[in-house]
Structure 1
Amino acid sequence: MKPQAERPNCNDCIEDNDSDWDLPEGDLSTLNLSYEEPVITACGYSSRGANGGANANIISVSTTSLGKRKETCPSSVCNEQSFITDKRARLSNEGQHNFKLNDPNVPHIIAHCPGVHLHMDAMKLPYGVLFELARLITIGRLQYKDITKEKLEILSMQGNNDTAVPLISQVFQRDGSASDSPLSVVNKYFADEFAATYPWKELDREEAALLRGPYEGLGNNPNEPDWYGGKVEFRGRLKSAGKGKPYEIVLDSCALGPSSRFSRRFGSSSFMRIKIPLNMFHETNNNLNLFFKKPFIIWGKVFRACYAKDDNIFLYWTNELYPFGSPTIPGRLSFEEFIEWHNPIQNNSLQLMTKWSTRTTLGFSNSVPGPRVRQHLIHEINDIISDVGSEMTDGCGLVTKSVTRALLDQFSLSFMPTAFQFRLGGCKGMLIFRNDENPELQDNEHCAWVRPSQVKIRYPLGVHDPAMLTFDILRTSRLTSPSKVSSEIIINLADNGVPRTIFGNLLERSIRDMFEALTTWQGPDAMFNLWMNVERHGGVLCGRRAREAVGEARARGYTNRSPEDTELDDNADEDAMDDFNFGSAPRSVAWWADQISGCPSSLEETVMVLLDSGFRPQECPILREKLRKVVSYKIDNKTQNLRFELKHSCTAFAVPDPYNVLGPNEIQIKSSRRNLQAEDGLLTDIITGDVLIARNPCKLPSDIRKVKAVDHPLLRNYLDVIVFSVQGHRRLIDFLAGGDYDGDIVLALWAANIVSSFKNADEKYSLDPVGLDLAFARDTETGSSFLARIKGAEPEVRIHAMQTYLLGALVDPSLIGKYSAMHTNAIYQLGLGHPRTHKLAAKFARVLDSSKNGYRIKPETILADTKQYYHPRGPHWQAASKEKKKKSPKPRFDTSNEAYLQRDHTSPYVKGIFIMDHLREVANRERERLLIEVDKVFAPLLNEPDPALIAPWEAAVRWAKMPTNNKESAKSKDKALCRIALHVQAMYRRNKGIFARTTRREPSNAMDSSNKSGPEFTHLAIEVRQDELRALSKAFASEPLLEDVPDIPDQETLDRWRASYAYKYDAEQNFKDGEQGWSRFPWNVALRELCAIKARSIGPYKVVSNSFYERFKLVNR
């Protein structure tokens, strides 16, 4: 018999009249009910009576919520439920209590009330409505008593998600006020942003498609050729309620996102992704592997965890109904059927169960459906095997050109891709086109040749599901040059003979080049060059494309903004957005511009908009200040991260030689463009000569190899990839941290001064050290033994047995970070080539893949390694790199008085000054020098108001004072200008109030009065900041209405005068002690109009629509 759900729900349906219940106030979770007895839900509802039904007798329990007023179930169904129990059900000690909380048989209620659920089922509410109401329950914005039958009927009458979900905020507003619907608020100004993330119209389209047939969402549909499903993300996050209390799941707002094979085949609503905060994820003994074995309940629907990937848990909506024992949902697969559909254990019974479980990721991979291939045209060809048994083509097969041509058109690529990363049925890895088309194939017939190393799942014989015959496209081949090198690669290069002075010079040059690019303002093309450099350093254009592409950004090769901006956004408080979103009222999307004011969200984009409108940093304070922040941040970032670009380098997918024409230790690097810098400084499309290759992670001396790059005529069409030889005794990429060809990206560098001094390390480092197995135990259960073990078991037992493997990533994930840190300490203390460092690297590699390989490091090994290699502060160079990273929780122990880790100079593998210590010294010296330069270059201006920006208001004043015989007309004109002025002044005070709510600080620029706003505002989530400023700009633009000032001829004139007065008023308010200051106010509310005034004042200008402007890119003359 199923036990009762642990989490309280609508619990004031239970009267407080049984003093014999010795419970904490409002805490029902300490009830330990016998499986043979009726069980209590938090709303007084019994999931089973004595006969397995819902009937029982009455019990009374105190239900005062902790710190909150009681909730009342609105339904008589809940009030009429009765049940009996035994006082023996109470727990006698905390150990039993904790056992109960982690009991996988006890369902976890996310949101459920039987009475409410009954009405929901009867009204057949759209899934989006159900999810949104559940979300509001989990964030505490709704109580069950608020969800009345009458309100549900209003939502039910809307018919679909697109009309019903936006209405929730109006129906359930407690203060009776109705918020604007998303459609009315965003209107045409935010249409693109709104469409990029608004999920409900897409969910309706997807559900309608799946009603027509189960394969309608897979793509390749002649009725909807450019559409596919699975793009709606249902998400939540884990929350800790405190020690000894159960975890909670808080649902997040639904949004559009990447698609996957599973979501396309079974529908977006069949899955939910739960994010685990990193502090909880890495906490030891967190029992997450037990918690996520529970069934999770949302309005009677039962979800079960089907996979754990890093700190994400994927829940699948099963065919079960809660309370258990109810009929199942027709047409839905059970948990076991879903797993069997994707990865049948019987057909893969020789695999280790640990490896079997990791194949679930094939279905969850973010992907875009590519062409569909006929089943008989998927062929299996042998891998090339060396004389010692190494798989030389591991992970890469072949495909006809018709497939890559289809991808060229589908993704609007500049060149036909040589290769692409894919999933196809049970296969994964890379496919490269065959240049020798099979004459037996018809034109444009898609055909694939996969290798045994790519086949991860075997299926029964018979006709395959169309989802298994569709190419899932992850990424297409792309070559990037120049590339950045990580600290691990720098350490490796230095240890293998590259002089540290080379790296010091490269770092210094990299920082100076960046500074000069952003502070060179003189010359005929200075502003054009500055615009281009700001765009490049901020990744602005690529970021715009990524925002628009949403779920297809990775497949199209876009990155969303620069890495530095991503780190900035990580400063946001993950809970900060709850108060801003009652229901489904619209919320801004990170980094999209405010289309009302025209003000971009990022610093770099704002600088670019000001520049291309004619402002110059020598004259414009706001441009000067924002550019200063860009420069200061880039200096901090480059000097803290100790990463820099190598001009003579590139990164690309690694693929094996399809013709076997490259000799041992040979590669080919050929680009589709002339973007590779040769040693003579000229750009070329091919590199020849000695080259170093590497990939991440790079933890062993042998993880970088010197090879020879050649140009072979047979490979002339294999562009934007790095082709590896398949000759020799061992797969060449295997030297690079055990790499293969299933999608590994390789760094190649050919700078002569680095390559010439580098010496390949001994191959012994690429092999496991002797005695490594003694540190591990291994789970060697195979599929066949697993099936024998669970044969005849109850379904719940079988499910939990599978989940033990499917959730394997949750078993002590903190070990990965721990062993990585200890290996870094060993490198610093003992040297990269020390045998003990080598062994730690091998342990890290096994721990990293433990969920796949079945290895579990022994507790005594962890204890011994921790004692020997753990250090509370680590090396000074690394600690300094972390000082200015994102805010982190207060450490458990204060280590500020601990000394940094010291090098052991008696070790024969310690070679002088550590390279990163040297780079830290260079970076600190360069940072101090450049910050002095920043103060000089960006010294405060003797600011004077820009006459061009004040001119429209002055013209308006003259207009109002023009002599006229009509006194009423003159009075009306004065009144119109007065209304504008009063409104602007009110907005100025409101703007000031936004920042006054935060703690004041010393401004970075004394002339900028708005800089006195506290740092709290800038550290809010970017969406919250955008919402605040957008609300201000919307209010600014909303008054006065044109009909209220009939003397003003048109809306354009009104907008121009209002913006001009905002600028003028701001200047007047910030003139103090004979000095002219300024604030961001006029720019926050009217940047577009101020830019138009400036461009118009300079001379000839061109009006352009925003959709065109955002695709513009300057090129050198």
Structure 2
Amino acid sequence: MANLNPRPLTPEAIQRLHAKMRSRHWQDPTSESSSLVVVVPPQSPVSPQDTFSTLISGVGEESAQTHSPYASPPSTPPRAPRQRQQKSLTPAERAKRREKIEIFLEADHERQQQAEPSSLPVIKAPNFGLPSKSYKSTPILTAESATPQPTTKRTFSLPILGGSDDYRFIGFDSQVQALMNCYRLPWAVQYEVSRYRSQNTAFCFSLNEYNEIFEKLCQIHQAVRTKHGQLDGSNIEARQVFSLIRSIYRKRPPSKGHEGKESQLDSMELRIDVSQIDAKDPYVELDFEEKAILAGSGAGLGLSPDSPDGPEWYGGRVAQCVTLVEHPKKKNPVLAQKPNEDLFTLVLMKHKIAPSTRVSRMFGSRRILQCSISKKVVKKRSEALRNFFWGKRFVLNGRVFEAICAKDETVYMLETGDYIEGVMQVPTLDHISNNGRMTMGEFFDWHNPIIFNSRQTISKWSARFSLGFSRSIPACRFDPRNILEMQDIRNGAGLHDWEVMTDGCGFMNREVALQVQRMLDLKHLPTAIQARVGGVKGMFMLHPSLAENALSQPRLWCRSSQIKIRHGQHFFVTSSHSQLTLDLLRCAHPKMPANLSRELISCLDNGGVTADLFEQILIETLEQKFTQLATWDGKDARVRLWHAVFDLEHVLQGRLRRETAGASRAWGYGEALDITELEFSFDSDDEDETEEMSVSGDPEQTSGLPAGLAEQVLHFLMQGFHPNEAPILKEKLDKLILRIVQEYVKKYRLVLERSVEAFALPDPLGVLEPGQVYFRGTTSWQNRDGSWSDTLLGDVLATRHPCKVASDVQKFVAVDCPELREWPDVVLFSTKGARSPLSLLGGGDYDGDTVVVIFEPEIVNAFRNAPLLPNGLCQGDPAPDFIEKYFDKSVQRLDQFLRVESDHGVILKILQKMLLAPLVNQNTVGMYSTMHEKACLEYGYNDPKTIILAQKFCQCLDGVKAGLTIKPSVKNEDKKLFDSISLPKSRGGQQGFTDESWMVSPRKRATKSSSLPPDVIERLWDMGQTKAIEYRKILSDPERKGGRYNDPVLCEPYESACARAKALMSIGIGEAMKEDIEEIEATVDWIRDEYDERVEQKKYPLKQLAWKERREVINSVATELKASLEALDITVLSKLEAERVAASYAYVSDMRRYNRTHPKWQDKGTDFPFNVMFRELANIKAQSKPHAIAITEDFSMRLVVHSSFVRKH
């Protein structure tokens, strides 16, 4: 075990170090270079290429060349996996190591003191005939430093931290692992075997059974192995694992306790065996990535002509998801006696396409595990969760993964080595790529080197790790000399963050914008992007200089406020291209109109906007949506209804998100997530909201029916079904209408036609005066008088999320500045005045914050700005003693920490614990948001108690970066005060957002003081509830029953086949056809029995399952039916005719079963025939219509109805 109590430096040792420092005359030979560059003097006892890893590792280790997974292959054969053994150091070696650390830290401190910003050259903005600003900038790398130099990077072996107790195994068995390695199975196949083992021990087989499975895989894919050359087979082989496991399972004799296990196995099939198009096939992507890693071409980083799937391909788009499961402690007395960390286990999930990140592109998707944790578990056992990951190593398929970052409810784990010899022998894994793999310490040096960021606090250093996991796409690559640094514009004394007028926003030249436009195939040139490059984050807008925009090479100007991670000079030269690639997050895509949120409505109401106006907007919104969806009569009613569902449910955006396979936000397809969706999501990295790739709109490959309700309605309408004639379509439409009404009422989605949500950026020319804003859209909007405009003029309101206090909404004057027309689709704010305008809006900045701008005259004219406090402060600004009074602050810097601690293993463990801190801290944010809402009802919006709670919330939201944590005594006192106060349903309390009877049961008003004004949210809730009940009564009107369920068109194929068989029987030649029909009937009846058993199961009825689980159950039944029909020995009927007869019989028999079990409800049925054979039933219905045409699914999913076809004539 590593030494947990290292000997501190003595006063004599410190004096010797200072004497050495003075005698060496440390000077920075590149004083004119950027502050991002750190050059170690040549007379230093440590070479410039040494990193923090080599300093804290053992002295005298063997030097070795390490390579990025995408760098050029080494000239010498790659070294074998390192033996991870901790080296025992003598006291003299330990003292020598501490001396080297001290020398590096003192040099870093002196370098920062000698930085001279006055040496920056001046770059002038173009002159438009008005006074322009000058900007100081300098290359982050000088021309001399950009010349590559040969280096030898020293590496180290991470010590074993405690032996076998520090290991957690995921579906692991040493004998099975050895067998898989002997067969040289590809990674995805091994992953699938482990996934079955982790999900259910009933599917763990004997070694002989596994040997049979692996032998068959080798026989099936021998040709594929030969074709792929250096690859040992293809990851696509993973698709065969399910069928082989099921065949082996069925050979087993029945045993007690395993009844019904086969149905559980069948329900798991979809998780690995769905036929997907290549663009969304994770196994194809894994093959591409493995080829790129083995070739060392750097193709996985993107923008490479050597990529296996064209120059636009990039890697890192496959998610290896792991779910953390909490053991039922009460049911397991053995676990009850173990420590908290053993209360959890990890279950592997299916590979899936997901957004790419810089880290996943650099190391490959296979080397990253994403562990998802439910919010409930995080809330209940946050400390136990951190202990579960802290200092532990997780073994999957013989590879070791360690936790390196926690973000939201996800822990990211990186592959750091092979399974360590000495704990359990595992044969070599040399057939799976291992070049470029890093240990945890080496990963720190690559991503966030401690030696160049040692002046940061530990909490701030650890908070920067999430930057590497921002979901992005590679857009362009820079010469290191074209990444420049420039100073921020500061007004006033510069003592406060809100005096920085350009916080988080730099410049890009036109070439960068052109490459982004070509990469994404955008219609308009993006004038602003949100991106990452190296250790820089934030927004980049077009540079105002015509000369800079004329350059043919891409160039960036980074503000000092954008530099979050500092790297050494040689880092950019010797590392891979990953840190010189522009990681694009989003382009400027304004959303018009914007939606209001509950917080914003409360703030506007407090500012003077009447509740009558909000009520009128809500009624107009609901009436418009309901009329569009509930009008089923008239000319082209089916087409208009299709267009309404398509538009209101954002179906196009959903399809585009699926088509772009994880890069939807860069294209702007993820912008449907507006401010109302963010109200209950408090992400520490606000530009990186959670984006779960929904596949609910994809048609099932077997049945053809999508899982999403909106897509189901669209498919029914396209195939000729009409809600007045098809009860099943009417039921789905009714459910969809009520769901949409519920969404608008519960989330208070008041649509303001004259509003826009867009990126907020500083004025690049300095022409706007304080209190002025500028916005011009690339698309125009209609004014009240019928005219059209593309530029805002007059008074407007601006706000952003979160909106907690009265000053978070501010009134501005929108002006037209011809000089600023080069920057459309963004809201520009003035850089003049005492403070940044965006700092008034909930403490915002320009690193990617979006603002909602309202120019509805009735709202703007009624609103009154909250008065500013003395010294230019607003209600959101805390008092001077606020932090000291309510928060504990971690002020220890990295250099201070390293002076105290020198043991390598202990340092890594402590830093890893800080990286996992978000698991513990995030609960406080939601808790204080709820407390603030309670205080608004109990004390009033402007009460000091309410305002202090809002300030606590904001500090907790950003406190992780600043090292702030709420004091336990303060937190307990606040909880004691507000836990006894419950929120009404209107604000999400009393199951208000999940109660299915929310539209039926009357609700008592929350008790409020008579001195407080009525709550506008309560009033909108009551009105919305009344309208919802009214709409439900309309939809349940008997006159809208939707026709007869017994559709003669769908019954015709089965009835016609029976009639033909009967006619042929009369002449003695119909026996074979009769047998065909009887076999079809028996097969459908058998599948129906299985379907009913799963739907009606007592523990998890189908209606109570989430759509993903329902989809899995239904698809497994549909797959079984299709396979059974294909296996039939049909002699008379053709294959196509047999499928039509089977679909028709499923429809007819469904009505017969329903009528037998529900004698009071004649002529009705269930969803069964459409769930399992929708494609065949839809074809029957469509072909019954005149002028029907055939169309393939890939075309139908790309067709839309233009709005011109649905206009009233």
Q: What range is the shorter-chain TM-score in?
A: 0.7 to 0.9
What count of residue pairs does the alignment treat as equivalent?
Answer: 972
1:649 maps to 755
Q: For 2:1036, what is the secondary structure of its paired residue?
A: helix
Q: CA offset at residue 655 of structure 1?
A: 1.7
In structure 2, the CA distance between the partners of 1:424 and 1:330, relative to structure 1 (3 Å rule), is: closer
CA distance 1:947–1:301, change in 2 (3 Å): closer
* Residues 1:456 and 2:564 aligned together: yes
Q: Is the 8 A contact 1:260 1:363 kept in 2?
A: yes
Equivalents in 1 of 2:671, 2:1116: separation in Å?
Answer: 25
State whether residues 614 and 1094 of structure 1, in contact with CA within 8 Å, keep that contact through their aligned partners in structure 2.
Answer: yes
> Aligned letter for 1:162?
N
Residue of structure 2 in register with 1:503 after alignment: 614
Q: Does 1:201 align with 2:290?
A: no
1:561-602 deviation line (CA, Å, top 9, x unaligned): 9999999xx9xxxxxxxxxxxxxxxx9964422233322222
- Say whether 1:756 aligns with 2:839: no
1:131 to 191, 199, 214: 191
Q: Is residue 1026 of structure 1 aligned with residue 1026 of structure 2? A: no
Q: Does the residue aligned with 1:759 lie in a helix, a strand or coil? A: coil
SS of the residue corresponding to residue 651 of structure 1 reads strand
Matches within 5 A, 1:1081-1100: 1081-1100=1168-1187
In 2, the alpha carbon distance for the partners of 1:768 and 1:102 equals: 46
Q: d(CA) in 2 for partners of 1:262 and 1:391?
A: 31
Is 1:995 matched with 2:1101? no
1:480 partnered with 2:603: no
Match of 1:210 among 293, 299, 304: 293
In structure 1, what is the equivalent of residue 879 of structure 2?
Answer: 769
What corresponds to 1:416 in structure 2? Answer: 525
Deviation at 1:1055, TM superposition (A): 3.5
Q: Give the match for residue 221 of structure 1.
A: 304
Conserved? CA contact 1:614–1:1098, under 8 Å: yes
Q: Please state how far the C-alpha of 1:289 moved relative to its aligned partner.
A: 2.9
Measured after TM superposition, the shift of residue 757 of structure 1 is 0.6
For residue 747 of structure 1, the aligned residue among 852, 858, 875 is 852
Structure 2, unaligned runs of 5 or more = 4-82, 89-160, 222-231, 253-261, 330-335, 682-692, 869-873, 1205-1209
Pairing of 1:291-310 with structure 2 (within 5 A): 291-298=388-395, 299-310=397-408
**Which one is further off, 464-473 or 879-888?**
879-888
Change in CA separation of 1:1035 and 1:560 when aligned onto 2, cut-off 3 Å = farther
- Picking from 627, 630, 649, the partner of 2:733 is 627
Is 1:593 aligned to residue 705 of structure 2?
A: no
How much does 1:1039 deviate?
A: 6.0
- Once structures 1 and 2 are overlaid, which stretch shifts more, 450-459 or 860-869? 860-869
Aligned to 2:110: none
Task: Check 1:311–1:954 CA distance in 2 against 1; reply closer, same or farther (3 A cut).
Answer: closer
Q: Is the 8 A contact 2:510 2:549 kept in 1?
A: no
CA gap of 1:660–1:358, structure 2 versus 1, over 3 A, is: same
Alignment partner, residue 30 of structure 1: none
Q: Are the structure 2 counterparts of residues 139 and 354 from structure 1 closer, same or farther at C-alpha, using a change threshold of 3 Å?
A: same
Q: Is the 8 A contact 2:617 2:750 kept in 1?
A: yes
Q: Structure 1 residue aligned with 2:801, among 667, 678, 696?
A: 696
1:426 aligns to what?
A: 535
Tell me by how many angstroms 1:217 deviates. Answer: 1.3
Residues 974 and 169 of structure 1, relative CA distance in 2, 3 Å threshold: closer
Q: Is the 8 A contact 1:769 1:842 kept in 2?
A: no
> In 1, are the aligned partners of 2:501 and 2:831 still within 8 Å (CA)?
yes
The answer as to whether partners of 1:543 and 1:562 remain within 8 angstroms in 2 is no
Label 1:291 to 1:723 Cα distance change in 2 as closer, same or farther (>3 A): same
1:1087–1:836 distance in 2 versus 1, CA, 3 Å:
same
Change (3 A) 1:319 1:357: same
Q: What is the CA distance between 1:480 and its match in structure 2? A: 1.2
Query: What is the root-mean-square deviation in Å for CA atoms of aligned residues?
Result: 3.9
Q: What is the deviation of 1:460?
A: 0.7
Query: 1:380 is aligned with what amino acid?
Result: E
Match of 2:1143 among 1056, 1059, 1084: 1059
Q: Distance in 2 between matches of 1:668 and 1:112?
A: 60
The match for 2:317 is: 231
Given candidates 450, 464, 467, the residue that maps to 2:578 is 467
Q: 1:314 is paired with a residue of what secondary structure?
A: strand
Q: How does 1:618-1017 map to 2 (within 5 A)?
A: 618-674=724-780, 676-680=781-785, 684-763=789-868, 764-773=874-883, 774-790=885-901, 792-793=902-903, 795-879=904-988, 882-885=991-994, 902-906=1007-1011, 910=1012, 912-936=1013-1037, 939-941=1040-1042, 943=1044, 945-957=1046-1058, 959-960=1060-1061, 967=1067, 969-998=1069-1098, 1016-1017=1101-1102
Residue identity opposite 1:510 in structure 2: T
Specify the code of the residue in structure 1 equivalent to 2:286.
Answer: L
Q: 1:707 Cα deviation (Å)?
A: 0.9
Contact 2:299–2:306 (8 Å) recurs in 1: no
One-letter identity of the residue aligned with 1:1080: D
Paired AA for residue 385 in structure 2:
L
TM-score (norm 1): 0.80
Of the structure 1 ranges 1028-1037 and 828-837, higher mean CA displacement relative to structure 2 is found in 1028-1037
Cα offsets for 1:300-322 (capped at 9, x unmatched) = 53322211112211112224752
Structure number with greater CO (CA < 8 Å, separation at least 6) is 2
Partners of 1:757 and 1:103 in 2: CA distance = 68
Measured in 1, the distance between the counterparts of 2:1071 and 2:634 equals: 51
Give the corresponding residue for 2:491: 386
1:332 aligns with 2:437: yes
Superposition deviation, residue 886 in structure 1: 7.8
Aligned to 1:1108: 1195
Deviation at 1:502, TM superposition (A): 0.9
The secondary structure found in structure 2 opposite 1:357 is helix
Query: SS at 2:775's partner residue?
Result: strand
Using the alignment, how far apart are the partners of 1:682 and 1:440 within structure 2? 35
Assess if the C-alpha contact under 8 Å between 1:688 and 1:710 holds in 2: yes
SS at match of 1:473: strand
Q: CA shift at 1:608, angstroms? A: 1.3
Q: Distance in 2 between matches of 1:727 and 1:686?
A: 22
Could you list the per-position Cα deviations for residues 982-1016 of structure 1 after superposition, in whole angstroms to 9, with x for gaps in the alignment? 544444444444433358xxxxxxxxxxxxxxx82
1:252/1:862 CA distance change after superposition, 3 Å: same
1:398·1:431 contact (CA, 8 Å) conserved in 2?
Answer: yes
> How much has 1:546 moved relative to structure 2?
1.6
Q: Contact 1:594 / 1:601 at 8 angstroms: preserved in 2?
A: yes
**195-204 or 549-558, which moves further after superposition?**
195-204
- Structure 2 distance, partners of 1:1074, 1:304, is 59
1:165 lines up with 2:238 in the alignment: yes
Q: Does 1:446 align with 2:551?
A: no
In structure 2, what is the equivalent of residue 314 of structure 1? 412
CA 1:349–1:700: 2 relative to 1, 3 Å: same
Q: State the 1:849 CA deviation.
A: 2.0
Q: Shift of residue 428 of structure 1?
A: 0.6
Which one-letter code corresponds to 2:810 in the other structure? R
Identity of aligned pairs, percent? 30
Tell which deviates more after alignment, 1037-1046 or 1054-1063: 1037-1046
The equivalent position to 1:108 in structure 2, one of 142, 146, 168, is 168
Give the Cα–Cα distance (whole angstroms) in 1 for the partners of residues 213 and 1115 of structure 2: 32
Letter in 2 for 1:452: S
Q: In the TM superposition, what is the alpha-carbon distance from 1:958 to its structure 2 partner?
A: 5.4
CA distance in 1, matches of 2:1085, 2:175: 52
| CA distance, structure 1, for counterparts of residue 994 and residue 634 of structure 2 | 37
Kindly indicate whether the alpha-carbon contact (under 8 Å) linking 1:398 and 1:449 is maintained by their aligned counterparts in 2: yes
Contact 1:104 1:295 in 2 (8 A): no
Please report how far the alpha carbon of residue 150 of structure 1 lies from its aligned counterpart in structure 2 after TM superposition: 4.0
Structure 1 residues 946 and 176, CA, compared in 2 at 3 Å: closer, same or farther? closer
Q: Is the Cα–Cα contact under 8 Å of residues 430 and 743 in structure 1 kept in the other structure?
A: yes
Q: Structure 2 vs 1, CA of residues 962 and 1069 (structure 1 numbering), >3 Å: closer, same or farther?
A: same
* Partners of 2:1083 and 2:1124 within 8 A in 1: yes
